[in-house]
Structures are given as structure tokens and as C-alpha cells.
């Protein structure tokens, strides 16, 4: 028996009831949730996702809204370029696809802000197509259970081939395998403290059978500390802009971060990304239009 059957059975018994896994969840909801989940934990995404879909239940609804509304509603999910991209994707879906989120991976990849993972996730989870969907949790489970390595290392093209080799032929079973492998990595086969005693494939895991040897390969890059980073300063500036309907003066921004050079660098990045507009004379706002 492959590892997919016990992982699927475990998921039925122990997987979380998350909004995007419920019957009837729309393809648009799946796309929005995947944008939000790209770099934000589940618990922070859920309330923001529900508010977002209540306000903009279809791509056309978001496309018709000012982009500043999308950035403001993104609130503190972080990496707000995703809000700009999601708005641009809604416009593209409305203009190019009649307001219907496409189901084809190539068409999804052509949307702003949609990368390989998101395109496959939408095609598989919203439309039931048989594609390997591989996130960091899936990669960790495969690295350990299949390859006997404690860590997956940096993302690699072979990750998709590894997952494709595990997928059952039936699309519904493949969809279950995709989501169940992710969930196992999120809840049981975690990065720091894998709970092998609670794992449905403990008896088939190559890494466990080898005595969980230390990882000697190349590690995936570690995200830099948030505290004191340009990312933190960008977040503080964005908070000021979101909170104001009027242009925010440079002097007001100076109050959010004392280091002039770092604050200017962060502001320049926001202007370059289109997340802020304005200048030192007129002040700064969220994007218009
Ligand atoms: S036995 Fe342990 S290391 Fe292997 S897949 Fe399960 S949780 Fe991960």
C-alpha cells in the first residue's frame, strides 16, 4: 500500500474544517484564500477572507472597486503587494474570462500575482483537476517519508514529479491526496517537532526507519527577522496610509520610524511597488484609481 491511502484516511478523521475546504466554496474564494495564505498563517487569514468575500463575492465586484479599497481591506495580512495583484487579477478575470476564474493552469498562471503553486491549487481544489500541488508542508513529508531526509531543502522542480508519482489516477482521490499531504505536514510532520507517534505513515517513513538522522544537505533560506527590518517599516507606513483619507505628510511619517534612511528606503519601495502615491510636497496616500 502506498502512503496516500493512510494519509487520506487520517485526513478524513483529523483534517481541519477550514472555510476553503467546505462544499460549495467558490473558485473565486479559493483564489482569494490562496493569495492570502501565500505568506500569512491560517488563523489570521480566516476572518479577513470572510470579510473580503462578503464585500466582494465575485471577481467583478472587486474589479469595480478602487484599488485603495483592496489595499485598505488587506489590513495587516502583510506583503500588501498581494492586494494589488489580487485586484489586478480580478480585473483580468472580468475582462478576459467573463468574470469566471479560469480552471486551466496556463490561464491561471497568466493572471497577475499567480505563481505555479497558486495556479495548481486553484485548478485542483476549486475545479477538481488532477495536478500535483506542492507546498512546503508537502515537501517536508515527502522528504522524510519517501527520501529519508530530515528537511526538504530549497524548492526544486523534482518536487512536482515526486508528488505526481504519489497521486492516484482518480481525480477526486488525487485531490484528497494533495490536501491530506499538506495537512499532515502542517499538523503532524512539522518542521521542528514531528509527532511520529501520531503519524499515520510512521511504519512506512524512511527517515524514521533510519533513526531520524540529522540533515546534512543544503537548507532552504531562512526568512530574515521582522523586527527592525524594512518590512516592518513598510508595514508601519502602510498603517498610516490606510488610516487616513487625506495625504499623510512626511513629518507624520517621520513619527512612525526614527531612522530617516531606513524610512526613506521603505517609502521608496512602497512608491515603486505602487502601494503608495504622492511626494514630499503633497504628502502620500494609498494608490488612486
Ligand atoms: S513518521 Fe514522523 S517524520 Fe515520518 S512522515 Fe510521519 S511525522 Fe513525518
Do 87 and 70 meet the contact criterion of CB atoms below 8 Å apart? yes
194 lines ligand 1 (CB under 6 A): yes
CA-CA distance, 125 to 138, in Å (whole number)? 15
**What integer pLDDT is reported at residue 41 of this predicted model?**
93
7 lines ligand 1 (CB under 6 A): no
Task: Give the residue, by CA position, lying nearest to ligand 1 atom 2.
Answer: 196
**What integer pLDDT is reported at residue 216 of this predicted model?**
85
| Centre of ligand 1 from the C-alpha of residue 160, in Å | 20
Q: Minimal CA–CA distance to 166: which of 41, 283, 276, 3?
A: 3
Query: Closest ligand 1 atom to the C-alpha of 150?
Result: 3
199 lines ligand 1 (CB under 6 A): yes
Q: Tens of pLDDT along 248-275?
A: 999 999 999 999 999 999 999 999 999 9
Q: 10 Å Cβ neighbour count for 112?
A: 13
Query: Closest ligand 1 atom to the C-alpha of 205?
Result: 4
Radius of gyration of the chain (CA): 21
145 lines ligand 1 (CB under 6 A): yes
Q: Tens of pLDDT along 178-228?
A: 999 999 999 999 999 999 999 999 999 999 999 999 998 888 777 778 888
> In three state form, how does the secondary structure of the chain look?
CCCHHHHHHHHHHHCCCCHHHCCCCCHHHHHHHHHHHCCCCHHHHHHHHHHHHHHCCCHHHHHCCCHHHHHHHHCCCCCCHHHHHHHHHHHHHHHHCCCCCCCCHHHHHCCCCCCHHHHHHHHHHHCCCCCCCCCHHHHHHHHHHHCCCCCCCCCCCHHHHHHHHHCCCCHHHHHHHHHHHHHHHHHCCCCCCCCHHHCCCHHHCHHHHCCCCCCCCCCCCCCCCCCCCHHHHHHHHHHHHHHCCCCECHHHHHCCCCCHHHHHHHHHHHHHHCCCEEECCCEEECCCC
| Centre of ligand 1 from the C-alpha of residue 98, in Å | 45
Q: Tens of pLDDT along 15-50?
A: 999 999 999 999 999 999 999 999 899 999 999 999
205 lines ligand 1 (CB under 6 A): yes
Taken in order 27, 18, 141, 151, is the CA torsion positive or negative?
positive
Do 52 and 40 meet the contact criterion of CB atoms below 8 Å apart? no
Positions annotated as catalytic residues are: 34
pLDDT of 11 strictly over 90:
yes
Task: Give the residue, by CA position, lying nearest to ligand 1 atom 5.
Answer: 145
207 lines ligand 1 (CB under 6 A): yes
141 lines ligand 1 (CB under 6 A): yes
Residue 59 sits at the vertex; the CA angle it makes with 58 and 65, to the nearest 5 degrees, is 100
User: Best of 201, 204, 209, 214 to mutate for ligand 1, by most ligand atoms within 8 A of CB?
Assistant: 201
CA-CA distance, 139 to 219, in Å (whole number)? 13
Contacts with 95 (C-beta within 8 Å, 6 or more apart), sequence order: 63
Q: Tens of pLDDT along 52-98?
A: 999 999 999 999 999 999 999 999 899 999 999 999 999 999 999 99
Query: Closest ligand 1 atom to the C-alpha of 195?
Result: 7
Q: How confident is the model at residue 1 (pLDDT cuts 50, 70, 90)?
A: low
Q: Minimal CA–CA distance to 189: which of 212, 168, 221?
A: 212
Do 267 and 276 meet the contact criterion of CB atoms below 8 Å apart? yes
Q: Minimal CA–CA distance to 234: which of 206, 192, 273, 197?
A: 273
Task: Give the residue, by CA position, lying nearest to ligand 1 atom 8.
Answer: 189
Q: Tens of pLDDT along 91-149?
A: 999 999 999 999 999 999 999 999 999 999 999 999 999 999 999 999 999 999 999 99
Chain-centre distance of CA 47, in angstroms? 15
Amino acid at each position: 500500500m502506498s502512503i496516500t491511502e493512510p494519509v487520506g484516511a487520517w485526513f478524513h478523521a483529523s483534517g481541519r474544517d477550514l472555510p476553503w475546504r467546505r462544499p460549495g466554496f467558490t473558485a473565486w474564494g479559493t483564489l482569494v484564500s490562496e493569495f492570502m495564505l501565500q505568506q500569512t498563517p491560517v488563523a489570521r487569514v480566516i476572518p479577513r477572507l470572510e470579510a473580503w468575500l462578503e464585500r466582494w463575492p465575485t471577481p467583478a465586484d472587486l474589479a469595480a472597486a478602487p484599488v485603495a479599497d483592496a489595499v485598505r481591506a488587506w489590513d495587516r495580512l502583510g506583503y500588501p503587494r498581494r492586494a494589488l495583484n489580487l485586484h489586478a487579477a480580478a480585473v483580468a478575470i472580468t475582462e478576459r474570462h467573463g468574470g469566471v476564474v479560469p480552471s486551466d493552469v496556463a490561464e491561471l498562471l497568466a493572471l497577475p500575482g499567480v505563481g505555479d503553486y497558486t495556479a495548481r491549487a486553484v485548478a485542483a481544489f476549486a475545479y477538481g483537476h488532477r495536478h500535483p500541488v506542492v507546498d512546503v508542508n508537502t515537501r517536508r513529508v515527502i522528504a522524510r517519508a519517501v527520501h529519508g531526509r530530515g528537511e526538504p531543502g530549497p524548492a526544486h522542480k523534482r518536487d512536482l514529479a515526486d508528488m505526481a508519482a504519489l497521486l492516484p489516477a482518480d481525480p477526486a482521490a488525487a485531490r484528497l491526496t494533495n490536501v491530506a499531504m499538506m495537512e499532515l505536514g502542517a499538523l503532524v510532520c512539522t518542521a521542528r517537532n514531528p509527532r511520529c507517534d501520531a503519524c499515520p505513515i510512521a511504519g512506512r517513513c524512511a527517515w524514521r526507519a533510519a533513526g531520524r538522522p540529522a540533515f546534512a544537505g543544503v537548507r532552504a533560506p531562512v526568512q530574515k527577522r521582522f523586527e527592525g527590518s524594512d518590512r516592518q517599516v513598510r508595514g508601519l507606513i502602510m498603517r498610516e496610509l490606510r488610516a487616513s483619507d487625506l495625504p499623510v505628510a512626511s513629518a507624520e511619517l517621520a513619527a512612525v520610524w526614527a531612522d530617516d534612511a531606513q524610512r526613506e528606503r521603505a517609502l521608496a519601495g512602497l512608491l515603486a511597488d505602487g502601494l503608495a502615491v504622492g511626494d514630499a510636497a503633497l504628502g502620500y496616500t494609498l494608490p488612486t484609481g
